[in-house]
Structure 1
Amino acid sequence: MLLTATQRRRLRAALADRLLAACFGAGVDSTAMLIALRLAGLRPDVITFADTSAEKRQTLEHLDRMDDVLARWSWPAITRCRKKTLPGTAYDDLYGNCLANETLPSLAFGLKSCSIKWKQNPQDQAIKGAASGPNAGEPHPIWLEAARRDARIVKLIGYDCGRADLRRSRRLPAADADFDYAYPLQILGWDRADCIRVIAETLGAHMVPIKSACFFCPASKIWELYWLAAHHPDLLERALILERNALTGRHSRFDEVEFGATWEDIIRSADRFPSTTTTVGLGRSFAWNQWARVNHVVDASFRVKRDIENRRRFLAMADQLHKEGNALDARAA
């Protein structure tokens, strides 16, 4: 059985008869979370996905496939939430925001503001509505029903029982002014391997998605950069442009005096940056541009190599560096 009687009782004890808002990230964990709810006889009132316009094509395809699954279940379709900017703003997405401000995503500096601005807030507005501004709109029926009942909405987050997700969830409050929070996978005791197994056995192995993340996410692992070079060289090049724009721009924290050379000189000639606590690129402690040059991923003009031989090399390196539990998903060989 994919869900034991005890697990089903635990999940229903926590969530039955509550107003449920599932935050769908379109990755392994959030996909397994929806399956777990269905196995427990629970149905969310709304399912939201934050569209930053920076997801990989495979993630968007998974969204469409999941909408087909939800339709078969007679569940609500995924509400795709996107932050709208004011008229006249020089950008309309996270990538453009970073480019215009000559900075990296806040995660590169250990912060979370990019996620709050481009993911959390648009999903909250889709539920609560907004009285004014570019995202002005009526509240979702779940918000009105909560007011009618004088009840709290439970936001469901797809954190699993892996060490990283347990650490993240422990840092978060159980509730805020508007929502309660629950982690169904942790209630069930599922880790990433459990999630993959349940998706494969319920929906088919082809429905195990890749990790959902922006193509320029500072949390990307080295194997993911090789995978990006092989499958989406255009996106990797855009990430390299963003990084160069930030580290040579007006807000750069890079100190030429400390490092003895300009950032551009170092990425073009040195094998590594000197030891420092300063963020030197999208990798925080390393620059993607330098990594790409040193590992012969790009040519002298920092264009990703696209020939068949190099693509095979990138795929082989991605497979070699990939470890079980390290963003384990459909990209594994």
Structure 2
Amino acid sequence: MRDALAGRLLAVSFGAGVDSTAMLVALRAAKLRPNVITFADTGGEKPETIAHIEAMNAVLLAWGWPQIDVCRKVPLATTGYADLHGNCLKNETLPSLAFGMKSCSIKWKQDPQDQFIKGVKRGPNTRPAHPVWIEAQSTGQRIVRLIGYDCGSADLRRSKVSIPADAEFDYAYPLHLVRWIRPDCGRAITQELGAHLVPIKSACFFCPASKQWELYWLAANHPELFERALLLERTALTGRHNRFDEAAFGASWADLVRTADTFPRTTGTVGLGRSFAWNQWARVNEVVDADFRVRRSRADRARFTLLSDTLREADNALDSRTPGVTPIRFVRRLEEAAFPR
């Protein structure tokens, strides 16, 4: 990794999850100090993610590294919303990922980080270019964007569809260079920073990619956010853009959510889960009451937490905060070079 990236202008795209945190640990082990570290806040981040950024800034300060620059898209005042959740609610639609597209990520995560580095000349996002961009333009160097994809099968698929360079940036995946999969990332963070800095999965609280164990976790830990996600889904699927054909299924989407055990087979998106509606899932699994309010008793939260722990894959992010992460040591030659005792 040092051979591949030494001497380059480095811009870390920090996602505030396990992989991107481990990427920082690996970069420090290789003695590669980034020029800028950015995080894009969609306005839908979980509180634990924002707290992790603050905690990592304390670590970076101790390292003598740049602080994490939080980037936010500022919509025009006339839009009537300030973030991705408000965008979906105002337009009565689901995030684009629910339809198999990535425009929400591009609009609310990629573009704000690009604009933070390159600068914007006009509009509500006006800002000067970052010094690393000015240096790149004046010296003819290319900035390398560092992405925290690990060597697990899912992230390997994602990186294969990415391009190594575009007109403005080169791209590199440090965790591929050190061949770390998700458990390696968690262990590296635990060893060098402490288990308390192994973060939860970073994603919007209404992300269509959420799995059922994550829905239980959200209901147990942030019932108010889960209710906001359910409202967003109901607004989208019963609003002016509703494409659910009542004639074809014998009942409206709202009726099916309230009464049916499952949705009829369809090739269309039926909710935040794409093939399932969060509202119906929550009702069938007794996460909510008849008015779609999350059950908040101590027994209910304990049940949600237990189900989250039971369903969570062993190599996923530690959202359930199950104790007992066992530290391991780095490969000996890497550890001795980077962390002399």
* Superposed pair shares fold, TM > 0.5: yes
Tell me whether 1:197 sits opposite 2:187 in the alignment. Answer: yes
Deviation at residue 332 of structure 1 after TM alignment: 4.4
AA at the equivalent of 1:329: L
Tell me whether 1:328 sits opposite 2:317 in the alignment. Answer: yes
Q: TM-score, normalised by structure 1?
A: 0.96
Tell me whether 1:65 sits opposite 2:46 in the alignment. Answer: no
1:294-332 CA distance string (max 9 Å, x none): 00000010000001111111111111111212x332524
Quick one: distance in 2 between partners of 1:288 and 1:330? Answer: 19
Aligned residue pairs, count: 322
1:59-94 CA distance string (max 9 Å, x none): 111000000000000000000000001122210100
Deviation at residue 53 of structure 1 after TM alignment: 1.1
AA at the equivalent of 1:220: S
SS in 2 for 1:88: helix
Tell me whether 1:236 sits opposite 2:226 in the alignment. Answer: yes
Tell me whether 1:275 sits opposite 2:247 in the alignment. Answer: no
Matches within 5 A, 1:175-324: 175-324=165-314
Q: Which runs of 4+ in 1 moved over 4 A?
A: none
- The aligned counterpart of 2:45 is 55
- The aligned counterpart of 1:99 is 89
Q: TM-score, normalised by structure 2?
A: 0.93
Matches within 5 A, 1:28-177: 28-177=18-167
Quick one: distance in 2 between partners of 1:177 and 1:284? Answer: 34
Quick one: distance in 2 between partners of 1:180 and 1:223? Answer: 36
1:191-216 CA distance string (max 9 Å, x none): 00000000000000111000000000
How large is the RMSD of aligned CA atoms in angstroms? 0.7
- Structure 2: gaps spanning 5 or more residues: 323-341
Mapped contact 2:92–2:241 kept (Cα < 8 A): yes
Quick one: distance in 2 between partners of 1:205 and 1:136? Answer: 39
Mapped contact 2:149–2:175 kept (Cα < 8 A): yes
Deviation at residue 259 of structure 1 after TM alignment: 1.5
Deviation at residue 106 of structure 1 after TM alignment: 0.2
Percent identity over the alignment is 65
1:42-69 CA distance string (max 9 Å, x none): 0000000001111111111100000000
AA at the equivalent of 2:149: Y
Quick one: distance in 1 between partners of 2:230 and 2:319? Answer: 25
Quick one: distance in 1 between partners of 2:243 and 2:39? Answer: 33
Quick one: distance in 2 between partners of 1:243 and 1:330? Answer: 23
Quick one: distance in 2 between partners of 1:73 and 1:330? Answer: 27
Quick one: distance in 2 between partners of 1:115 and 1:290? Answer: 26
Quick one: distance in 2 between partners of 1:144 and 1:311? Answer: 51
Deviation at residue 253 of structure 1 after TM alignment: 2.3
Mapped contact 2:217–2:319 kept (Cα < 8 A): no
Quick one: distance in 2 between partners of 1:235 and 1:130? Answer: 33
AA at the equivalent of 2:178: L
AA at the equivalent of 1:331: S
- Structure 1: gaps spanning 5 or more residues: 1-10
Quick one: distance in 2 between partners of 1:331 and 1:304? Answer: 18
AA at the equivalent of 1:162: G
Deviation at residue 35 of structure 1 after TM alignment: 0.7
